[in-house]
Chains A and B, each alone.
Chain A
Amino acid sequence: MADVRIRPMNELDIEGICRVDEKITGRYRPEVWERRIAYYIRRDPDSSQVAESDGRVVGFMLGEVRGGEFGLEEPTGWVEFFGVDPGAREKGIGRRLIEALLGHFRAKGAHVARTMVAAQDKDIAAFIAAMGFAPAPVTALEKRL
């Protein structure tokens, strides 16, 4: 694999992100990613990051700094969507993406980053833990409707 470059995501990454997502989930969901990517670009285009190799997107991490959610008033860097092409894993791309994202969060004045991981996503939980995230003193709750 050619050198991997980490850079802020832009509107021309949509198809590349759809491709990575499709490889992971088996579903082609352009409308979903168009909506999400438009949201992050609109709010802070320097925040979300992609990994690019040989002109192709091989990983992405979407997030932003927000405050006031769930009673957490302090500016918080939220890590919300990420994926790495299965053929490009084990090369430190996830680590580089999250380092770039956390660097941006710090520059925006956040002192804490948060994310949520589904209990069954053991690989993701292991990755997030390896990146220094620890269980937070908040509980995710749900009610089926």
Chain B
Amino acid sequence: MNDDVRTLPKPYHDAIEHWQRHNFPDYPKLAEEWDRFFPKDEPFCLCAKIASDIPDEVEVGDRKGEPKALAPKELPEEAAQHLLTAIRAQASTEFGSIQQHQGTLARAQEPQDHAWALRVMAEELRHGYQMVHLLTSADWSPVTQTSAADMVEEILSMQTGSHVLAAFNLEYDSFLDNVVFAAFIDRVGKYQLTMQKISAYKPYAASMPPMLREEAFHLAAGVIPLRRWVEAAARGDGYITMAAIRKAIHKWFGRGLEMFGDERGGQTNVKYGLKDLANREAQDMYVAELERMLDDLNERYVRSRFPQVSREEADRRFARVKEGETVDGVRPDDLLQLPDRRFFRRRGEPAYQMVGAHGETFTDVEPYIAHVLANLPEAYRASIDVKHWADLQRKVARGEMPLKEAINSMPRLARVGGSCPCAKSVRWVMESAAK
């Protein structure tokens, strides 16, 4: 069950290390903190890890039972196109999340939270490295004219605002975002990796188990600080309130849902054996898991509000509050809850429908925008992202922009083929790698 460890050819390895120096300058601190916070763990390795115990035959879809592809050319052309798009998007998310985390990493209040976030970032760097390995260790020419070097160049040139998925284009406002992101957005990552574990392209399937093992810790790095924060909030001595956490959830939840793709789609991936669940099915499981997470956090909150009562009595009180009753000063609104799935949506089936956090519908756009703004973190409300959404929401509601155009609109134009900031003429991947 040991993984095979691979290193990228030097130009690509160097490009990623170069990218790290610009985008993840705190990376060297990981080595300083490792012995204190992860004393018995294997040292971090910037490498690709390939699982060895992967089935040889396609597990789902039209080609079930046939040998898995070992090269892109062995897949149907459309399947290879889908796969390449998925790998590039995933690579973008891995590098993108590091850029987001880096912005507020230093604001962690606890040394342990800092060390955990640092490790999460390093492992995301490794996951990005893994995706680059997939792009550069196979011949993708049957489905793209773009060379491997140019694909890597494009990915490394992306910044917060020009990534493929919206969740990776939002700036963090505080360390609360580092933690909520890990609990909500990394959880989508877990679902994607789990679905892709059965991929009909064996090198991709074999990349998933090592990433999934690391992702498990990323989720803990989100949930455990949240548990401590709700407990502190219940005691009244926390710096982070339940209301602040709730607003952060409102910021991220819709973007997480949209990472699954349009609710009505995903069957093609199943047909080609690239994933084992269609989009809505996976999204439903994700939402159920988030509800369980919030139940756990709320239970801890209620338990801390009533430290003198027994577990059974705390359970009874929690059940009553959850049912809508105010119990000894604890109101239903004090608890964390998911907004309606249609709230603040920009892609997918409910895109730009005017549905509020509790499922209420709006007929006029300005009250709806005011409602959304009131439910988002204050710092985020001032962002270009929110302004862009509000502008589009108005245009869609007034019939000034087709829905499809609004769905495809991003707050900033993608900057493709950008150069390394330390010398404008230098590419991340040196030219020799293109051969």
Q: Is A113 an interface residue (CB 8 A)?
A: no
Please provide the chain A residues from 14 to 60 with a CB less than 8 Å away from any CB of chain B in the complex: 14-16, 19, 22-23, 28, 30-31, 34, 37-38, 41-46, 55
* Contact of A15 with B1 at beta-carbon distance under 8 Å, contacts A30-B231, A66-B40 already known: no
For B219, list chain A residues within 8 Å (CB): 10-11
28 intermolecular pairs with C-beta atoms under 8 Å apart: A10-B216, A10-B219, A11-B216, A11-B223, A11-B224, A12-B223, A12-B293, A14-B296, A15-B299, A15-B300, A16-B296, A22-B311, A23-B311, A28-B303, A28-B311, A30-B227, A30-B300, A34-B227, A38-B224, A41-B216, A41-B217, A42-B38, A42-B217, A42-B220, A43-B40, A45-B216, A55-B292, A66-B40
- Alpha-carbon gap, A100 to B1, bound state (A): 16
> Does A19 lie within 8 Å of B311, measured CB to CB?
yes
CB distance from A103 to the nearest CB of B (A): 12
Q: Is B213 an interface residue (CB 8 A)?
A: yes
For A12, list chain B residues within 8 Å (CB): 223, 289, 292-293, 296
Which 4 residue pairs spanning A and B have beta carbons closest together? A45-B216, A11-B220, A15-B296, A42-B217
Which B residues lie at the A interface, using CB under 8 A?
Answer: 1-2, 38, 40-41, 212-213, 216-217, 219-220, 222-224, 227-228, 231, 289, 292-293, 296, 299-300, 303, 311
- Alpha-carbon gap, A45 to B212, bound state (A): 9
Q: Is A86 an interface residue (CB 8 A)?
A: no
Q: Is A108 an interface residue (CB 8 A)?
A: yes
> Does B220 lie within 8 Å of A41, measured CB to CB?
yes
Which A residues lie at the B interface, using CB under 8 A?
Answer: 10-12, 14-16, 19, 22-23, 28, 30-31, 34, 37-38, 41-46, 55, 66, 107-109
Given A41-B220, A107-B1, 11 more contacts at CB 8 Å?
A: A11-B223, A12-B223, A12-B289, A14-B224, A15-B299, A28-B303, A28-B311, A34-B228, A43-B41, A45-B212, A66-B40
CB distance from B2 to the nearest CB of A (A): 8
- Alpha-carbon gap, A123 to B289, bound state (A): 35
For A66, list chain B residues within 8 Å (CB): 40
For B222, list chain A residues within 8 Å (CB): 11
For A43, list chain B residues within 8 Å (CB): 40-41
Q: Taking CB as reference atom, which chain B residue is nearest A45? A: B216
- Alpha-carbon gap, A10 to B224, bound state (A): 12
Q: Taking CB as reference atom, which chain B residue is nearest A38? A: B220
Q: Interface of chain B, helix or strand or loop or mixed?
A: helix
Q: Taking CB as reference atom, which chain A residue is nearest B297? A: A15
- Alpha-carbon gap, A113 to B299, bound state (A): 36
For B212, list chain A residues within 8 Å (CB): 45
- Alpha-carbon gap, A37 to B2, bound state (A): 23
- Alpha-carbon gap, A44 to B41, bound state (A): 10
- Alpha-carbon gap, A23 to B312, bound state (A): 10
- Alpha-carbon gap, A21 to B213, bound state (A): 26
For B299, list chain A residues within 8 Å (CB): 15
Q: Which of B1, B224, B296, B300 is close to A108, meaning CB atoms less than 8 Å apart?
A: B1
For B311, list chain A residues within 8 Å (CB): 19, 22-23, 28
For A10, list chain B residues within 8 Å (CB): 216, 219
> Does B1 lie within 8 Å of A42, measured CB to CB?
no
- Alpha-carbon gap, A34 to B296, bound state (A): 13
For B228, list chain A residues within 8 Å (CB): 31, 34
> Does A45 lie within 8 Å of B217, measured CB to CB?
yes
- Alpha-carbon gap, A41 to B182, bound state (A): 15
For A31, list chain B residues within 8 Å (CB): 228
For B1, list chain A residues within 8 Å (CB): 107-109
- Alpha-carbon gap, A55 to B231, bound state (A): 23
Q: Taking CB as reference atom, which chain A residue is nearest B292? A: A12
CB distance from A100 to the nearest CB of B (A): 15
For A15, list chain B residues within 8 Å (CB): 296, 299-300
Q: Taking CB as reference atom, which chain B residue is nearest A64? A: B40
Q: Taking CB as reference atom, which chain B residue is nearest A19? A: B311
For B40, list chain A residues within 8 Å (CB): 43, 66
CB distance from B226 to the nearest CB of A (A): 10
